[in-house]
Amino acid sequence: MSGVDRERIEAATRELLVAIGESVDRAGLENTPQRVAEAYAEFFHGVGEDPLELLGEGIPLDEGDSGEIVMVRDIALRSMCEHHLLPFLGTAHVAYAPHERVVGLGRIPRVVDVLAARPQVQERLGEQIADAISTGLDAAGVLVIIDAAHSCVTARGTQQARSTTVTLASRGTFSDPIQRAEVVALISRGDAS
């Protein structure tokens, strides 16, 4: 969170409030610039962070271990659309086929969080997660599925309140349609329970 200039965000928020015709001295708004600065520091804490650092310490697989599929489903994600600076909220499912090592399961949601905590578009976010897992773990295959609702679609413009967007990014063995279908089926089993 150190890379966020809170004072500049506070000044910009004051200017924005004046630009929409509000008084920054009004009782309900007097602390808004500070609150917005705190929120933006949280929303954008991933700017400048390297997700590969989260994957550096892996657990070597014993010789003969296949490590066929490791999957973390239903990872809650929050990001900010870079086009309107409005949030998009959803779920990521991340699967990988280990090559020589695995990583602690808590590291996968942290990679998602770091990459989501910056101005983003969903399509690129999925690709970045897949690249980080593929590179950071030298994974034989990676599949990332994101299902998210975008405020720029649900709350403005077309106002499609129930609309979500689904994106898929695959690498290595999971780029094969048959292997990808097997992983997608495993992800879907979580929806039925």
- Which domains are present in the chain? 6-43 (1.10.286.10), 60-192 (3.30.1130.10)
Q: According to the model, what pLDDT value does residue 134 have?
A: 97
Let me know if 93 is a catalytic residue: no
DSSP 8-state secondary structure symbol assigned to residue 133: H
Nearest Cα neighbor of 102 from 142, 70, 127 is 70
Q: Which of 10, 93, 122, 128 is catalytic?
A: 122
DSSP string, 42-67: HHTTTTT--GGGGGSS-EEPPTT---
**Rg over CA atoms, the chain:** 20
Please check if 93 is assigned to a binding site.
Answer: no
- Would strands 70-81 and 87-97 be described as parallel, antiparallel, or unpaired? antiparallel
Q: What mean pLDDT do residues 136-155 have?
A: 94
* Confidence category of residue 190, pLDDT binned at 50, 70, 90: low
| Percent of residues, the chain, with pLDDT higher than 90 | 79
Least confident of 92-101, 127-136, 137-146, 157-166: 157-166
Q: What is the DSSP letter of 143?
A: E
Contact 3/50 with Cβ under 8 angstroms? no
User: Is 0.85 surpassed by the pTM of this model?
Assistant: yes
Q: Which helix (H) or strand (E) holds 40?
A: helix 32-43
- Is 99 assigned a ligand-binding role in the annotation? no
Q: Give the pLDDT band (50/70/90) at residue 1.
A: very low
Interval 2-6 mean pLDDT: 83
**Residue with tokens 């403005």, as numbered in its chain:** 156
Catalytic residue among 38, 45, 84, 182: 84
Catalytic residue among 49, 152, 179, 182: 152
What is the residue-averaged pLDDT of the chain? 92
Residue 182, classed as helix, strand or coil, is helix
**84 given a catalytic annotation:** yes
Q: What is the pLDDT of residues 46-95, one digit of tens each?
A: 999 999 999 987 888 887 676 689 999 999 999 999 999 999 999 999 99
Give the E-state strand segments of 14-151 in sequence order: 59-60, 70-81, 87-97, 101-102, 119-120, 141-150
Is there a catalytic annotation at residue 81? Answer: yes
Is the confidence at residue 29, as pLDDT, over 60? yes
84 is in an annotated binding site: yes
Q: Which of 34, 83, 123, 160 is catalytic?
A: 83
User: How would residue 2 be classed by pLDDT, with cut points 50, 70 and 90?
Assistant: low
Looking at 68, 82, 123, 160, which residue is catalytic? 82
Question: Known catalytic residue: 82?
Answer: yes
Confidence of residue 160 (pLDDT cuts 50, 70, 90): confident
74 with 145: CB under 8 angstroms? no
**Calpha distance 75→166 (Å, rounded):** 14
Catalytic status, residue 45: no
Nearest 5 degrees, angle CA 136-CA 90-CA 69? 40
34 is catalytic: no
Q: Which two tokens stand for residue 161?
A: 């309140």
Out of 10, 81, 93, 128, which one is annotated catalytic?
A: 81
* Catalytic annotation present for 122: yes
**For residue 193, what pLDDT is reported?**
45
